[in-house]
């Protein structure tokens, strides 16, 4: 599978973005880990590319202002998968195909199972409690 993160430059397209000099413990969509104290971050509105038309959603995400890391994009980021998550699959037209709640330890198996369906083009991983977009997944 291929992981799709969000680069900090995406924040620049949201004029309402907020700068936080230190916001420890928030999930960073750039390097796919939790933030540390004194790491400057952006909080901004973001629309994942999976959903199109009426399925295009906008929600709040965090990235670093200057990301110091290059995450591995060929495997799931374990630091953001220590809680149950929503997996939402999309078809090629950008419509929601299916959705389910997945527990830690099952993500690889469930995502690979979703991609067994040829109608599924991509998957979004989201927070269960807040619904926020974490990252996207496609076939490798």
Residue 87 interacting with Zn ion (CB under 5 A): no
Residue 126 interacting with Zn ion (CB under 5 A): no
Residue 41 interacting with Zn ion (CB under 5 A): no
Binding-site size, Zn ion (CB under 5 A): 5
Residue 64 interacting with Zn ion (CB under 5 A): yes
Name which position in 3, 11, 31, 81 contacts Zn ion (CB under 5 A).
31
Smallest separation, CB 64 to Zn ion (Å): 4
CA 97 to chain centre: 17
Smallest separation, CB 120 to Zn ion (Å): 28
Residue 29 interacting with Zn ion (CB under 5 A): no
Coil, strand or helix at 16: coil
What are the φ/ψ torsions at residue 74 (nearest 5 degrees)? -110, 5
Residue 28 interacting with Zn ion (CB under 5 A): yes
Smallest separation, CB 23 to Zn ion (Å): 12
Count of residues making up the chain:
140
The strands making up 33-34's β-sheet, listed across from edge to edge, are 18-20, 41-46, 59-64, 27-28, 33-34
Residue 61 interacting with Zn ion (CB under 5 A): no
Name which position in 11, 67, 102, 120 contacts Zn ion (CB under 5 A).
67
Torsion on CA atoms 115, 119, 123, 127, rounded to nearest 10? -110
From residue 20, alpha-carbon distances to 31, 42, 61, 65, 134 in Å are 17, 6, 12, 9, 19
Q: Tell me whether residue 43 or residue 110 sits nearer to Zn ion (CB atom).
A: 43
**Residues of the shown chain interacting with Zn ion in the complex, contacts defined by CB under 5 A:** 28, 30-31, 64, 67
């Amino acid at each position: 599978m291929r992981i799709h993160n969000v680069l900090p430059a995406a924040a620049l397209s949201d004029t309402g973005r907020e700068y936080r000099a230190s916001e420890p413990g928030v999930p960073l969509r750039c390097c796919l880990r939790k933030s540390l104290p004194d790491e400057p971050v952006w909080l901004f509105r973001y629309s994942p590319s999976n959903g199109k038309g009426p399925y295009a959603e906008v929600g709040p995400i965090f990235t670093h202002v200057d990301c110091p890391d290059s995450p591995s994009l060929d495997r799931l980021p374990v630091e953001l998968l220590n809680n149950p998550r929503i997996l939402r699959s999309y078809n090629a037209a950008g419509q929601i195909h299916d959705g389910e709640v997945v527990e830690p330890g099952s993500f690889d198996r469930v995502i690979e199972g979703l991609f067994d369906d040829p109608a599924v083009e991509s998957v979004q991983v989201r927070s269960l409690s807040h619904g926020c977009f974490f990252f996207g997944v496609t076939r490798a």
